[in-house]
Amino acid sequence: MIDLSHEIDAADALLDAQAASSLAAAHARPTIVPGDEAGSTVTQVIRDGDESEWAAGRYRITAVCAGEGTVAGTFAVGSHAEVSALTACTASGTVDHVEIEVPETSTGFTATLVPGGGSRAAIGYSIARM
């Protein structure tokens, strides 16, 4: 059985510290899930999105990771995207910031978080306007 509850709690605690200024947040989720065979695991790519309207401006995505391994993130508001190799995850948690400049009102937000092979962590993020 996979138990990443400690990692999820650690990542969510880091997110909660950012909550006051956040427009949206995705609570921490595991980078691995049970596989088809007993005791096996599968890496989980996390994809989120919406079709909300985002005003022109600068946005900061705060990505958090607790556990071990690496994660690459792609974040986009409308057609404006940033790709980032996030800081390696640690047991106490890491925090990264990715900024996106949106020159005009745009529709849609997407986040794709891709764990590196062997990652065993929990990842989440929040978005704030700067």
The beta strand positions in 1-130, using DSSP E, are 24-30, 32-34, 41-43, 46-54, 57-68, 71-77, 80-85, 94-102, 106-115, 120-129
pLDDT at residue 19, as a whole number: 67
Topology classification of domain 5-129: Jelly Rolls (2.60.120)
pLDDT at residue 20, as a whole number: 67
Q: What is the pTM of this model?
A: 0.88
pLDDT at residue 112, as a whole number: 96
pLDDT at residue 96, as a whole number: 93
56, 103 in Cβ contact below 8 A? yes
The string of DSSP codes covering 86-119 is PPPBBTT-EEEEEEEEE-S-EEEEEEEEEEPTT-
128, 22 in Cβ contact below 8 A? yes
Q: Environment class of residue 119 by beta-carbon count within 10 Å: exposed (0-12), middle (13-18) or buried (19+)?
A: buried
pLDDT at residue 24, as a whole number: 87
Computed on alpha carbons and rounded to an integer, the radius of gyration of the chain in Å comes to 15
List the chain pLDDT tens, one digit each, 130 residues: 578 888 888 898 888 877 667 888 899 999 998 888 887 888 999 999 999 999 999 999 999 999 999 999 999 999 999 999 998 999 999 999 999 999 999 999 999 999 998 899 999 999 999 9
Q: What is the number of other CB atoms lying within 10 angstroms of the CB of residue 35? A: 12
